[in-house]
Each structure stands twice: as structure tokens, then as C-alpha cells.
Chain A
């Protein structure tokens, strides 16, 4: 029996069949994730696992959230088109001879049904047995998530061209988060009121979606919105008065890089530091009756956060268009009269500006958190992060913060050489190589811990190994720079900037690391960590980057 042919006999069946056909592989993965969650529950019940229950609960929660977002993208018609993510109601369906109500109700009702069923199964069989959200009523969570689901659908379809649609959607998400925690708030809100608020949200989502889609179908949303046009004109009027031309091609390219991805890390990390963490620590924790964490934890989170985030975002830093999966150099950049070294320099400069701004925002976030915590002055708490004791907090903090900024910059540029080739197989190969090296290092450390003879041998040769690595790095860099100069991929000036920057930063990192070894009375480690300071910052990668870009640009 051909199920597909049967499904096409009704419009609802056809719409469902299209969603199923497009996403069936991912639906299978949802089944696998649920199976894994059930396995975790059995594992925990039998008591054979030494893995803490919290880790199992978090892994299961990640599976559930992934499944929920997947259903949202399926029934919300989030689609990829020519490497671009399209969020909105597909125009191919708008042309079908169906009423607007039918167009919205099919994905809303069936998506809601699928989501609620999935939630109930996960909650009943996986999350609650793992000890997750024990205090929450299943009906309440289901209704909140259903309302969130419908509102995301409604806004995604209703505001296709409106500027700040993402912000409106974030606001709706925050509203649902606030409503979701209503039963846990210390305020006296009766269950009747709580359900009333939630029911209002649920009921209004449908007419919002209907009205938005109806207007879109009538062409009301065609072209830029009035808000968008007004904003552009106001902005342009201001820009005309203020802005001249760029001083140089490098300045223009830096501006482009900044606009594409420079603000991303400061936005995410600074947003969390200045808004997210203060809210979580000092408002959210109080609501659920948990005290604020100690200042050491706050400071650690503030400064580890950007390090981790920069590692994640660094994977896309080589791209000129984040939405393009192929890393290819866009034509409008490729035909500009600029050397490949110049294009790379603009990226390095953007990474520097991003790192600096991120650091400043996180420092401000740390100050804000400490002030809100009322745990003493900034200086006395900042002293905790330095090995210099209570006397010279400020002088101790500044180099540590500078080193942190350098590490963020380094993370952002990890893999730039591979990424700029514009060849996905090189990026994958490089990722595999990095993974292999990382696992090799972990194996080396574990072996050194387990076997004393091996450890002694390793420590005996460690200085030599590190010097050999540093020499290899320098030799590769010299070769790459020479090749780049011969191929006109980079200028001597750009090499000067890169080598000068690397030398200063590495010397600083090595010097500071050596100084810390002294301060913590571990002089035996001094040579190794100083060599590590020179090894950890990229040079060969930066030397290869112009050549990699040339390989991408001149295929």
C-alpha cells in the first residue's frame, strides 16, 4: 500500500505527508534519543551506573529539548534554502486552494498534539524518574510548552519581514518563561489566575497566526515594513550627517567583518554577564529559595563563559557568511583589489576588537554581580582571581585579564587556516586532527598518571619535546610566510604585524605564566609553562591563513 498516495487525497493529509517526508530521518533520531533516555532510567534503577544521576538527567533533558525544537522547526516550517535558513510560512502552501484557517490549524493542532504527546512520554517515562522537575504539574508544563509552541509558530508566520522579529520572539519566549515559573513564585497568585493567564496566551495565539497569515496572503507584508522603512530613513539621516568614507580598504573590510560577526561574542557573552547572570543569581535563585553562589563562583563563571563561547564561535570565524555551509569567499569580496593577507588582517583585527569588548563587558558584569551580591568592594573580590594576594589586586588583575583577552582571541582564531580554504573536507579533516591530538594528550596524561616509569621518561624529555614543537611551529611559519610573499598573498607589512603581535603576546603569556609559577612556589614548572606560552598562541595557522584564502579565492 502506498501511504504517500493515500495521504495526498486530502489537503490535511498532504500537508502532513510533506512534513513527514521532509523530516522522517530526524523523527527516527528522536526515537533513538527517547530510547537512550529510557535506557538511562533503567541504568539508574538498577544502580549499576556510577555516573551521577544529574548527568543522566541533563543528557535526557538535552534529548527532550532537542526533540521539542525539532518539532517546532518541522511544524513551524523552518526550512533551508540555498544554504539559508528561512523562517516563515512557505509561499508554495499559500498558493493552495485552502482557507487561511486550515493553513494555520493543520500545523498548529497537529504540531501541538505531537509536542504534547512527546512531552508527556518524556516526562512520565524519562525526566521524572530521573528526578527532574519533581514539583511541577505535568498539565501545567504541557500547557506552557504548547502555548510557547503556538506563539513561536504564530510570530514566525505573521511577521515575515518585520525588523526585530527575533526580538519579538525572544520577548514572547521570556513571557512564557515567566508564566511557566508562576507556580513557584513567592507571590500569592491563585491557581485560577495562573491558568487564566495561560489560557489567554493559548487562545490568542491562533487568531494572531490567522491574522498575520491572512495579511501576508493578501500581500500586506510585501516589501519592507513601514517600521523597517522608518528606521532605515531615521538611521540614514543620522548616518548622512555623521559618516564619511572609510579611511582605507582595510577599514572597510574590518567594518564588514564586524557587522557580520564581530558583535556576536560580545552580544552573547556580555548579555549573559550583564543581564543573564545577575538575573539568574540574584533574582531567579531567590525565587526558588536557593542562595546566591559565592563570589569565586561568580567570577569563574564570568571569565570561563567567554572562553567557552569563543571556542564555539571560533569554528565559524573563518567564514565570510555564517549561513553559508561551504565557507566560500563571496564574489563581492573576492573581486576587491585587496591582498589575501589584507583580508586576513581584517579578520584578526575584528577578533581583537571582539575579544576586547567581550572582556570589558564581562568585567562590568562581574562588578555588577559583586555589587548586587553585596560581598565587599570590587578590589577585595577581584583579588581572589589573582595569585598576588591582597596587596596589589589591581596590578595583579590587569595581566590576568589581558591574558584572558588573548586566550579569547586565540580561541576565536582556532582553525582559521583550515576554514579559509573554503573546502569543507579540509575543515572536517582539521577538526578530526584536532580531536585526535586532544585525545592523544589526554591519553598521555592518563598514562603518565598510571605508570610512574612512563611519567619519569616523559618529564625527562618534556623540555626537548616542547622546544621541538616550537621549532617546528617557527619553521612552518617561516616557510608559509615566504611562500605567501612569493605568491603575493601577503605583504611584508602584514607579516610584520602578525609576527610582532605574536611575539609580544607570546612573550607576555610566557612571562606571566612563569611569574605565576614562582608565585605559587612551583619553580620546577617554570620552563614548561613558559614554553607553553609560546606554543599556545597561533603563528603557523596565521601564516598559513593568507595561502589558504588564496587557495579559496583562486581555485
Chain B
């Protein structure tokens, strides 16, 4: 059984058959996603695939047109207080009040969360090397991401939603943020959903991966299972094909001359059978990275 699945008990996030249209454009089309307590789900997909739209539904910023969204079994639109009080959120847009100082923003946020852990907030402040007297608008992009993460973590939310947390950040800040997330997952067993373009991050952290394409879920399962269901292989032809070979089950076929690299969805045996049918043999096969799978799924050619 694939997991997350509708049958999973104790799902913190339960999205069922969610569809959303903006005018004639379908931003989400029959999306179902379930995340169990303590699970870490990586949401991946190209720009405009619907990741942020899905996250906005989880936060109640968008109302489901069809289907349902439940967080901790509650509707985030009908019960924003019940849901948002248990959710930490870091936005890609860094939508922060630039006029506030760092300490003012911390005090402001603290007021909404009875579970705010002051020593922990102080520890994060020190760890992220933020100056409490500094205005948020004068912080660098990385520092703004850090204060956003600090105010999302300091009340120890049961569910952490991170929308492109490391977008536009340098590797050092990315590492800091990722380590903070990993620590939360490892030490506290919290549920995390995060979207990212940087799939090496997802591979490193996520137990589950959901890939969206044009608003539809095209991949959904445990990260290692998703990777294991694909093969990156090199096919060798006796004579160079006149045009791009068509391989049944391939998500992408790229190359030139007599050697072509394919991203295949299926087992090794299925690949060898399909290759033989077009007069090729498999000379190299390995488990692809998530990055390769996303690129192949999003823009690859194949049958």
C-alpha cells in the first residue's frame, strides 16, 4: 500500500479530491494528500504546478471549491483559530511587517500562541544571530527567512508548513534552516510539510514525496519507493536511430547517436523487455535522484 493514503489513521493533513480553478485555469485537479502524525512530506513540482495553492488551502487562505481539507480533523476555513494555533508556517514570500523590530515581531507573535517557549525562542535568536533591535525591513533575505522560521518554531507547533523555505537563500543559510527543520523532526517528531525546488533537500529530509504537475498529483508515496519505481538507464543501439527512439514506459529519452539516456518508470526487467522491442540493450542502470525524476516528468519526452 502506498503511503500516505486515505486509509492512513491519525492523518494530520487530509486533503481529499481537492480541486481549485482560477477562471478557466485548473490550479488543482482532484488532489488527495494524506500526511500521518510525525511524517515529513516533501511537496515538489515545477513553477505553477500548484504547490503554493495547495499550501494556501491547508492554511485556510483559500477555500476548497470541491473536495475537502482537514487539518487535525478540522476545517481550516471554518475553524481558523483551532487549526492555525497548532500550525507553524513559513512563507516563500517572506510576508513580514518590515516596520517592526525583530523583538517587536517576536512579542507580537507570542501573544497569539499560549505555548510560546521563551527560552527556546531566545536560543533560536542566538543560533540565528539576529539582532533584536534591528528593523525587519533592514534584514537581509536570509535573516528574514530566519526570523520567519523562528516565529514559526518558537511555539512548538504540531504541524510545520514551509513553502519554499530556502528559496533565494545562499547555501549557508539554507543549511542553517534545513538543520533546524531536521532537528525538529528528529528530536520532537513533529509533522512537517514543505515544498521545495531543491530536491536534494527533499531527499535528505522527507519520508514522503508528492509531486504535482499542472495541478495534478503525478507521484505520491514514500521517497525511497518513488525513487525505486524509476530507473535511470543508458540504452545502446547497434546503429544510431534516425529519430528519437520511442520507449514504452519511459518518461524521458535524451541523447544522440547510438547511446540514449532514459528515465524509465518500472522494474529492471520491464526496462530490458521494452528496450529489446526497439532494438536496444541496457548498458547502465541505476536508481535516479528525485531531481532527475522531476525533470523527466515535468519536461521529458517519451511514450
Complex interface residues of chain A between 207 and 236 (CB less than 8 A to chain B): 223-224, 229, 232-233, 235-236
Complex interface residues of chain A between 313 and 351 (CB less than 8 A to chain B): 330-332, 334-340
- Verify if A249 is at the interface (C-beta below 8 Å from B): yes
Among candidates A229, A236, A334, A338, residue contacting B81 with C-beta atoms closer than 8 Å: A338
Q: Which residue of A lies closest to B136 (CB)?
A: A332
Q: Which residue of A lies closest to B151 (CB)?
A: A332
CA distance A330 to B96 in the complex (A): 8
Query: Does B84 lie within 8 Å of A336, measured CB to CB?
Result: yes
Residues of A within 8 A of B134 (CB): 224, 232
Interface 0/1 of A243-276, CB less than 8 Å to B: 1011111011101100110000000000000000
Query: Does A337 lie within 8 Å of B108, measured CB to CB?
Result: no
Central interface residue in A249, A251, A253, by most chain B CB within 10 Å: A249
CB distance from A240 to the nearest CB of B (A): 8
Query: Does B61 lie within 8 Å of A553, measured CB to CB?
Result: yes
Query: Does B101 lie within 8 Å of A245, measured CB to CB?
Result: no
Query: Does B112 lie within 8 Å of A337, measured CB to CB?
Result: yes
Among candidates B91, B109, B110, residue contacting A331 with C-beta atoms closer than 8 Å: B91
Interface 0/1 of B68-82, CB less than 8 Å to A: 000000000111111
Residues of B within 8 A of A252 (CB): 107-108, 110-112
Residues of B within 8 A of A256 (CB): 97, 108
In the complex where A224-B134, A232-B134, A555-B62 touch, is A335 in contact with B89 (Cβ < 8 A)? yes
Query: Does B61 lie within 8 Å of A339, measured CB to CB?
Result: no
Residues of A within 8 A of B81 (CB): 337-339, 488
CA distance A253 to B97 in the complex (A): 13
Query: Does A332 lie within 8 Å of B111, measured CB to CB?
Result: no
Query: Does B111 lie within 8 Å of A248, measured CB to CB?
Result: yes
In the complex where A239-B103, A554-B63 touch, is A338 in contact with B112 (Cβ < 8 A)? yes
Interface 0/1 of B245-261, CB less than 8 Å to A: 00000000000000000
Residues of A within 8 A of B133 (CB): 229, 232-233, 235-236
Query: Does A337 lie within 8 Å of B80, measured CB to CB?
Result: yes
CB distance from A431 to the nearest CB of B (A): 26
- Verify if A487 is at the interface (C-beta below 8 Å from B): yes
CB distance from A121 to the nearest CB of B (A): 41
CB distance from A436 to the nearest CB of B (A): 30
Query: Does B84 lie within 8 Å of A335, measured CB to CB?
Result: yes
Query: Does B63 lie within 8 Å of A332, measured CB to CB?
Result: no
CA distance A249 to B80 in the complex (A): 14
Residues of A within 8 A of B93 (CB): 331
In the complex where A335-B59, A337-B80 touch, is A236 in contact with B107 (Cβ < 8 A)? no
In the complex where A249-B112, A332-B97 touch, is A223 in contact with B138 (Cβ < 8 A)? yes
Q: Which residue of A lies closest to B95 (CB)?
A: A331
Residues of A within 8 A of B228 (CB): none
Chain A interface residue number, banded: 35 or more
Query: Does A554 lie within 8 Å of B60, measured CB to CB?
Result: yes
CA distance A256 to B77 in the complex (A): 24
- Verify if B214 is at the interface (C-beta below 8 Å from A): no
CB distance from B105 to the nearest CB of A (A): 8
CB distance from B96 to the nearest CB of A (A): 6
Residues of A within 8 A of B60 (CB): 553-554
Residues of A within 8 A of B113 (CB): 337
- Verify if B85 is at the interface (C-beta below 8 Å from A): yes
Query: Does B78 lie within 8 Å of A488, measured CB to CB?
Result: yes
- Verify if B132 is at the interface (C-beta below 8 Å from A): yes
CA distance A243 to B133 in the complex (A): 14
Query: Does B62 lie within 8 Å of A554, measured CB to CB?
Result: yes
CB distance from B20 to the nearest CB of A (A): 10
Residues of A within 8 A of B85 (CB): 337
Residue contacts A-B, CB under 8 angstroms, 27 given: A161-B138, A224-B134, A224-B135, A232-B133, A232-B135, A245-B110, A245-B111, A246-B108, A246-B111, A249-B111, A249-B112, A251-B111, A252-B108, A252-B110, A252-B111, A253-B111, A256-B97, A259-B99, A335-B87, A335-B89, A337-B80, A337-B83, A488-B80, A553-B80, A554-B61, A555-B62, A555-B63
Question: Known pairs A335-B87, A488-B81. 15 more at Cβ < 8 A?
Answer: A224-B135, A246-B110, A256-B97, A256-B108, A259-B100, A331-B93, A332-B96, A332-B97, A337-B80, A338-B81, A340-B80, A487-B78, A553-B60, A554-B62, A554-B77
Q: What residues make up the interface of B, taking CB atoms closer than 8 Å to A?
A: 59-63, 77-85, 87, 89, 91, 93, 95-97, 99-101, 103, 107-113, 132-135, 138
